[in-house]
Amino acid sequence: MDRALRVLEAFLGEESQIGVLELSRQLDLDKSVIHRILSTLVARRFIEQDPVSRRYRVGLRIWELGQRYLAGQLLKDVAEKELTRMIAAHPYATAYLAQLDGGDVVVISTIRGPGPINLYMDPGSRLIAEHTTTGRTLLSFLPPVKADQIVARRRQAGGSIRQFPDIDEVRADFAAIRERGFGESQGRYSPGVNTVAVALCDPDGSPILALSVDYLGFPETEGLGRILPRELQDCVRRIERLVRASGTEPEA
């Protein structure tokens, strides 16, 4: 595997095409080893061989992977901008982008509202998905059998300081979230902290990201729970339009 990756990295240089002898010298590998690696990469379309010069160049599969990377970065950038615009109107609130990683939910962006007091979780923070509104929202848009499997595996792994809820209660919450189109909680997981979350899904309906807002239960935030579901859903629609306008589709 390491040798194959070194061969691929050699194509990051200035030369658009490279021969076997050059690769052998550059990587200090026998020509027979280079031939075997290139044969596999050509068969998998990561590398192409010029039929005239017999030299090698980057293949279609590399371009496809690059497009996937760019699409993912574009989605994150657009989502952050739209969430920043939305949260600017809500003091005492914080917006998050998060995604599933197995049975955990991982924060990938945190955007604070303009108020003097709001909540904050560092990007990279990891929580058990079923213990959070955001995680449950993402899980609820998976096929029920798959969601059950993820929840069961995460429970077996342990590591929770709080008791896992009854699985029937969790399934009922998943169904309610799917029907409403958003997740919500008021002080369920942290006293005084309310959350609204929506899922951004790919064209097949699989969840990619969650957009969520945590806000403190102050008199100043009364009624926010009625406003945020629509605002977050509108935010998702704007993100989808902007990403599609770029010529790509939201995807996991």
**CATH number of the domain bearing residue 18:** 1.10.10.10
Strand, coil or helix: what is 26?
A: helix
Res 184 pLDDT > 90: yes
- 175 or 77: which leads in pLDDT: 175
Distance, CA of 192 to CA of 172 (rounded, Å): 24
Res 54 pLDDT > 70: yes
* Residue 22 shares a structural domain with residue 108: no
Q: Which of 58, 83, 101 is the last residue of a domain?
A: 58
In a domain, 132, yes or no: yes
Average pLDDT, the chain: 87
Confidence tier at 252 by pLDDT (50, 70, 90): low
Confidence tier at 251 by pLDDT (50, 70, 90): low
Q: Domains in the chain: how many in total?
A: 2
Number of H helices, E strands in the chain: 8, 8
* Residue 26 shares a structural domain with residue 134: no
Closest Cα partner for 117 from 14, 237, 247, 219?
A: 219
**Residue 110: its pLDDT value, please?**
94
Res 8 pLDDT > 70: yes
Confidence tier at 69 by pLDDT (50, 70, 90): low
* Residue 113 shares a structural domain with residue 147: yes
Res 206 pLDDT > 80: yes
Mean pLDDT of 202-231: 89
Mean pLDDT of 26-37: 88
- DSSP single-letter state for residue 18: B
- 215 or 115: which leads in pLDDT: 215
- 181 or 221: which leads in pLDDT: 181
Confidence tier at 24 by pLDDT (50, 70, 90): confident
Res 160 pLDDT > 90: no
Distance, CA of 239 to CA of 186 (rounded, Å): 27
Confidence tier at 207 by pLDDT (50, 70, 90): very high
In a domain, 22, yes or no: yes
Res 35 pLDDT > 80: yes
Confidence tier at 203 by pLDDT (50, 70, 90): confident
In a domain, 63, yes or no: no
> In which residue are the tokens 């790509």 written?
248
User: What's 61-125 look like in SS3?
Assistant: HHHHHHHHHHHHHHHHHHHHHHHHHHHCCCCCEEEEEEEEECCEEEEEEEEECCCCCCCCCCCCC
Domain that holds residue 24: 2-58
The percentage of the chain sitting over the pLDDT mark of 70, rounded to a whole number, equals 94
Res 161 pLDDT > 60: yes
Contact 103, 116 (CB under 8 A): no
In a domain, 207, yes or no: yes
Confidence tier at 71 by pLDDT (50, 70, 90): low
Mean pLDDT of 224-244: 92
Query: Could you read off the pLDDT of 95-141 as tens digits, one per residue?
Result: 999 999 999 999 999 999 887 777 888 888 889 999 999 999 999 99
Question: Interhelix angle for 20-27 vs 31-43, to 10°?
Answer: 120
CATH code for the domain of 76: 3.30.450.40
